[in-house]
Amino acid sequence: MITRTDFDIITSWIPEGARVLDLGCGDGALLKHLAETKATRGYGIENDNASLVACIQNQVNVIQSDLEAGLKDIADGSFDVVILSQTLQAIKHTEPVIAEMLRVGREAIVTFPNFGYWKHRLQIAVSGKMPVSDDLPYQWYDTPNVHLFTINDFEAFCRARQYRVLNRRVLAGANEALLLPNLTGSLALYRFKRG
């Protein structure tokens, strides 16, 4: 679930009047919030029928499409910011999706649950079972998450591709995880661009 805190952090990273694309936009609440607070123009991409109707109710532009099929109808560099909020871990083809984000957008924002969070580590270490928490609220057999990774993993991923991280914030619940974020943070937010 997206919370007020993630909302506020993402919002703070969006320039006034930006053209924004939100991948896997759910009910469009973030886009609506950005339009109201930052006068953004934007579109969501969403494949779920009920979410699509919710977006229409929230009066945000939404395109019904499968993220995995790519953003082929979207022109190069046509967005200021492309957002992927708590969806990266549920995407099969992580690498091409991020490459597409940086093709169509000048900057990308991704947020994801940190698998390296100490509670997750402890659950595996102590009980020997896959972790279940507020940010990973699923059992192994019903989770939509196909890639679980840590903050360190993501930073290595960006380094290898020479993506430049512009901002990073790590949260533990509603609070900022400042010390040893890969251990103490449950949710990571990144703003980055091509190097």
User: What does the binding site for other proteins look like in residue numbers (CB under 8 A)?
Assistant: 19, 41, 43, 49, 52-53, 55-57, 59, 61-65, 73-75, 78
Smallest gap from Cβ 72 to other proteins, in A, equals 9
Q: Which is nearer to other proteins, 25 or 98 (CB)?
A: 25
Q: Which is nearer to other proteins, 57 or 175 (CB)?
A: 57
Please say which residue, 69 or 122, places its beta carbon nearer to other proteins: 69
The least distance separating other proteins from the CB of residue 151, rounded to whole angstroms, comes to 33
Closer CB to other proteins, residue 66 or residue 162?
Answer: 66
HSE-CB of 111 using CA atoms within 13 angstroms: 27
Phi-psi region of 162 (alpha: psi -120 to 50; beta: other; left: phi over 0): left
Compute the least distance from the CB of residue 47 to other proteins, in Å: 9
Q: How far is the CB of 165 from other proteins (least distance, A)?
A: 28
The total of other beta-carbon atoms located within 10 Å of residue 160's CB is 8
Measured from the CB atom, is 32 or 120 closer to other proteins?
32
Asked if residues 31 and 60 have their Cβ atoms less than 8 Å apart, the reply is yes
CA pair distance 63, 44, nearest whole angstrom? 6
Q: What angle, 0 to 180 degrees and rounded to 10, lies between the N-to-C axes of helices 4-13 and 29-38? A: 50
Q: How far is the CB of 61 from other proteins (least distance, A)?
A: 5
Calpha distance 88→65 (Å, rounded): 16
